Amino acid sequence: MAVYELSIETHFSAAHQLRGYDGDCARLHGHNWHIRLFVECSKLDALGMGIDYKIMKRELKAALERWDHYNLNDIPPFDSINPTSENVARLLCEEMRRRLDNGRVRVSRVEVAETCTAKVIYRP
């Protein structure tokens, strides 16, 4: 069966520090976090779309508002778990699945990059 995978990219800015980490990242620092959201479907709607990119962009922007320009360590659940790229990717993927999965389309993965050379991909 053929599958379409659509993606959008955005970014947000936030500070964080890694508790219990032996290295520079234990100190408060910031990133321009780059996000790629992937959604897949096997059937198109009546217009020939898997999902409107406008919907993906709107929902991703809304999900990221709670983190943008904040210290992630101050925001639950990062007040009790480390705001690593891995945890950011998993939590964002879970949130986007709640927002977008509808039986015809589903979030297939989320990519989070702290820098241009360091990123993680989370697949549910």
Residue 76 CB neighbours (<10 A): 8
52 Rama sector, left if φ>0, alpha if ψ -120 to 50, beta otherwise:
beta
State the catalytic residue, choosing from 5, 29, 69, 86: 69
Distance (Å, whole) CA 116 – CA 37: 16
State the catalytic residue, choosing from 59, 95, 111, 114: 114
Asked about 69 being catalytic, the answer comes back as yes
Asked about 114 being catalytic, the answer comes back as yes
State the catalytic residue, choosing from 25, 34, 40, 94: 25
Which residues belong to the active site? 25, 69, 114
